[in-house]
């Protein structure tokens, strides 16, 4: 059986679904194949920048995304011994007027999914795995496998690989990722709890816990219910079994909680050596993988989709020569390089806070130290915290709005 379409999108994550919606808006028939039956369960990405919201506004879903964002108070970023313990300091971001929309990925993806599949030119096929690809000057022919084992061929003029950081399409095309490989492995623990009693007077989206036995970051998606704890791999045997104890040690207070999921990810700082192979384009995490410090991964991916779809639409409507598609790599790849670098610098700069506090082998020493800092030491620590400001205030680098350019 062969299905024919104009654009085939491999991967129905946020970037693939956005590309589909943008193509549909231009009346361009497209098919998305996504191997997962359901949208993502873990919150993962959560910071949406203004450019991303502009794209969603154009699609008519901006208000729905804003309404889904559970946390509106972004006043402080906090460093503490434990969530319920001594505070090392906080960054007051009120003067930066952070224009984030704090919408976790597990709430965003269903909105994108509903919108994309409601568009007539689009077909969103879930439970379908892309397996192979051939192309010539006229088009691409992909082989996909349905989760009931059925194989199908899909012919298209173009293929967008939005299949994430491990991108099977990128691997088949033998496109290398340039830049440092796994820097650190992390656990991502999604749990439900009511954290509001611990956050009184210092609410905000991010809490860095410095407890040497349980270091990590709390991402507060909804203080009454949904929180993620990210903590590094210690590389010990059966580590996953110790994660709930580590989470309790990081919270440092007696609260009821329920772990929803434990996932792992590795920090990369990489950009694909090229974004295009003939009629195939890499977009989103398939083209670049950043540390999450800075919240730029998804936002950069949405900008990729917006830029590329604009150029593809012009070509498909015979309004421009296919050579204009080269602008995609030329404009978007340098942005990814800058954002990869910036995100990595943000991650490295965080260590300045522990350095300012000095070595503390355990929680008791850390708490004692934080409670007995001299005026000069307090100043050093406050300055180290202040130096983190660009981490949160930067918008990263994004390609120019293609609609604003002549030609």
Ligand X SMILES: Cc1cc2nc3c(=O)[nH]c(=O)nc-3n(C[C@H](O)[C@H](O)[C@H](O)COP(=O)(O)OP(=O)(O)OC[C@H]3O[C@@H](n4cnc5c(N)ncnc54)[C@H](O)[C@@H]3O)c2cc1C
Q: What does the binding site for ligand X look like in residue numbers (CB under 6 A)?
A: 10-16, 33-36, 44-47, 105, 129-130, 162-164, 168, 188, 230, 265, 284-285, 292, 295-299, 301
Cα distance between residue 6 and residue 140, in whole Å: 10
* Shortest separation between residue 172's beta carbon and ligand X, angstroms: 10
Three-class SS state of 334: helix
Compare residues 47 and 69 and give the one whose CB is closer to ligand X.
47
Compare residues 13 and 223 and give the one whose CB is closer to ligand X.
13
* Shortest separation between residue 321's beta carbon and ligand X, angstroms: 28
* Shortest separation between residue 129's beta carbon and ligand X, angstroms: 4
Compare residues 226 and 314 and give the one whose CB is closer to ligand X.
226
Compare residues 34 and 316 and give the one whose CB is closer to ligand X.
34
Angle between helices 14-25 and 50-59 (to 10 degrees): 40
Containing H/E element for 211? none
Compare residues 42 and 324 and give the one whose CB is closer to ligand X.
42
Compare residues 10 and 214 and give the one whose CB is closer to ligand X.
10
Contact 339, 396 (CB under 8 A): yes
Long-range contacts of 388-393 (CB under 8 A, 24+ apart): 388/77, 388/91, 388/346, 388/349, 388/350, 388/352, 388/353, 389/91, 389/93, 389/96, 390/346, 391/293, 391/294, 391/346, 391/349, 391/350, 392/77, 392/91, 392/93, 392/96, 392/98, 393/93, 393/96, 393/98
The dihedrals phi and psi of 8, each to the nearest 5 degrees, come to -100, 130
* Shortest separation between residue 262's beta carbon and ligand X, angstroms: 12
* Shortest separation between residue 120's beta carbon and ligand X, angstroms: 22
Listed in sequence order, the residues at least 6 apart from 100 whose beta carbon sits closer than 8 Å to its beta carbon are 47, 48, 49, 74, 205, 295
**122-126 and 128-135 beta bridge pairing:** unpaired
Three-class SS state of 306: helix
Compare residues 11 and 85 and give the one whose CB is closer to ligand X.
11
* Shortest separation between residue 45's beta carbon and ligand X, angstroms: 3
* Shortest separation between residue 76's beta carbon and ligand X, angstroms: 17
* Shortest separation between residue 344's beta carbon and ligand X, angstroms: 14
Compare residues 179 and 297 and give the one whose CB is closer to ligand X.
297
Cα distance between residue 183 and residue 288, in whole Å: 15
Cα distance between residue 155 and residue 209, in whole Å: 51
Q: Extract the runs of DSSP E, i.e. beta strands, from 267-364.
A: 270-272, 276-277, 280-282, 288-289
């Amino acid at each position: 059986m062969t299905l024919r379409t104009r654009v085939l999108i491999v991967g129905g994550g946020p970037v693939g679904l956005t590309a589909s919606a943008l193509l549909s808006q231009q009346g361009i028939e497209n098919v998305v194949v996504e191997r997962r039956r359901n949208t993502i369960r873990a919150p993962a990405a959560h910071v949406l920048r203004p450019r991303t919201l502009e794209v969603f506004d154009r699609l008519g879903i901006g208000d729905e995304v804003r309404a889904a964002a559970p946390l509106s108070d972004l006043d402080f970023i906090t460093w503490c011994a434990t969530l319920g313990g001594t505070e090392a300091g906080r960054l007051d971001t009120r003067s930066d007027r952070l224009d984030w929309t704090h919408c976790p990925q597990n709430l965003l993806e269903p909105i994108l999914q509903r919108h994309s599949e409601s568009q007539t030119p689009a077909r969103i096929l879930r439970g379908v795995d892309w397996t192979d690809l051939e192309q010539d000057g006229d088009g691409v022919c992909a082989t996909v496998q349905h989760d009931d084992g059925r194989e199908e061929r899909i012919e298209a003029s173009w293929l967008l690989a939005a299949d994430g950081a491990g991108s099977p399409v990128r691997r088949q095309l033998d496109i290398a990722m340039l830049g440092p490989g796994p820097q650190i492995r992390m656990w991502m623990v999604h749990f439900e709890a009511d954290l509001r009693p611990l956050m009184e007077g210092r609410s905000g989206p991010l809490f860095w816990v410095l407890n040497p036995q349980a270091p990590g970051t709390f991402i507060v998606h909804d203080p009454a219910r949904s929180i993620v704890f990210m903590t590094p791999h210690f590389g010990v045997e059966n580590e996953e079994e110790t994660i709930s104890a580590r989470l309790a040690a990081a919270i440092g207070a007696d609260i009821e909680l329920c772990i929803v999921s434990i996932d792992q990810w590795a920090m990369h700082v990489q950009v694909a050596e090229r974004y295009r192979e003939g009629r195939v384009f890499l977009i989103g995490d398939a083209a670049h993988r950043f540390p999450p410090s800075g919240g730029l991964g998804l936002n950069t991916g949405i900008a990729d989709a917006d830029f590329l779809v604009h150029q593809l639409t012009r070509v498909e409507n015979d309004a421009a020569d296919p050579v204009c598609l080269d602008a995609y790599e030329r404009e978007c790849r340098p942005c990814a390089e800058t954002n990869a670098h910036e995100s990595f610098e943000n991650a490295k700069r965080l260590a300045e806070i522990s350095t300012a506090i000095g070595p503390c082998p355990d929680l008791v020493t850390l708490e004692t130290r934080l409670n007995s800092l001299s005026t000069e030491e307090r100043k050093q620590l406050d300055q180290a915290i202040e130096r983190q400001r660009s981490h949160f205030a930067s918008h990263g680098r994004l390609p120019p709005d293609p609609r604003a350019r002549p030609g």
